[in-house]
Amino acid sequence: MNTDLVGQHVLDINHLTVEFRTVSGWSPAVRDLSLTIGRNEVFGLVGESGSGKSVSAMSILGLLPRRGTRIGGGHVRLGKTDLLGATSKQLDQVRGSRVGMIFQEPMTSLNPAYTIGEQIAESVRRHRGATRRQAWDRAVSLLSRVGIPTAARNAERYPHHFSGGMRQRAMIAMALACEPELLIADEPTTALDVTVQALILDLIAELRAESDMSVLLITHDLAVVSEVADRVGVMYAGELVEQASTADVFNAPQHPYTSGLLSSILALDSTREFAGIPGSVPSVDREFPGCRFADRCAFATDACTISPVALRRSAGRIHRCLRSDELVLEGAR
């Protein structure tokens, strides 16, 4: 890692609220989210389905459908560019040239009618103004960089010829085509086998090491995050409930939800009971007078259910639990 660059913010999300239209009116799916990602940093954003982690990522790039969703407030900056105030033309310029994206299902992002090489070259040409020949050469070298064998030949093949792991690597090659400042990876390995997942995680770590690129890694899998992320944010029901360095989150979580997630990871050769979190993530339109996790929390007291819990900051850590000072929560085992 290039340490002298760490600390400059590439992405700065400030009090972001994203609302969905529901039967009861506009309901916040992301509530007052603030986080920053430094240059060359890997930030892991974790939560179960319905926590708002993907909605956050989609909203900062203007990828949410216009009908039924809206930005309720906040600012998002990529370097000096204000993303929420950007026109769709400006956002087009940002996506693919300054921010690369990879998603869980690469097939939905690859066009079945064009070869893999054409699609990557198109992206290079569009954002870098290269000639066809240069763009094609760059596409081939990118495919080779992400571990596609016989890249020159495979560049001429169509997405359906590729296995899931190869498609995901082709997606990464496309995302890297313009040397983005930030790579947003939304569940990049969820649909893949563990062997291929290991290859992709190694690849992300290598790519980060050989450039200034920052990574926002969104996943429900804490084990994945523990291997590659520098810092971790945990989201629950639309809110950030904890944020700290990866080691701190795993060794000494400060929010009961984080602790619950950690204890539900089952390690190989473990003999302990299956542990989960009772209940399920509430729907976006459900309002709670107090802590949104209180009704599932083993440590909740009456005080937790009276008024919303604000984020608390201490020693570089952030959490949203009233009782964190008195609780000693279990970390990863």
Chain residues that interact with another protein, rule: CB under 8 A: 48-49, 149, 163-166, 193-199, 201-202, 220-224, 226-228, 247, 250-251, 260-262, 264-270, 273-278, 280-281, 331-333
Q: Which CB atom, from 2 or from 264, has the smaller least distance to another protein?
A: 264
* Spatial contact of 214 and 40, defined as CB atoms under 8 Å apart: yes
**Torsion sign (Cα): 153, 215, 324, 289:** negative
* Spatial contact of 284 and 22, defined as CB atoms under 8 Å apart: yes
Question: What amino acid is encoded at 28 in this protein?
Answer: P
Q: Which CB atom, from 95 or from 317, has the smaller least distance to another protein?
A: 317
State the nearest-atom distance from the C-beta of 176 to another protein, in Å.
19
* Spatial contact of 231 and 248, defined as CB atoms under 8 Å apart: no
Q: Which CB atom, from 87 or from 271, has the smaller least distance to another protein?
A: 271
Question: What amino acid is encoded at 286 in this protein?
Answer: R
322-324-330 Cα angle (round to 5):
135
Q: Which CB atom, from 11 or from 262, has the smaller least distance to another protein?
A: 262
293, with CB counted inside 10 A (0-12, 13-18, 19+), is buried
State the nearest-atom distance from the C-beta of 85 to another protein, in Å.
35
User: Which helix (H) or strand (E) segment is 260 a member of?
Assistant: helix 256-263
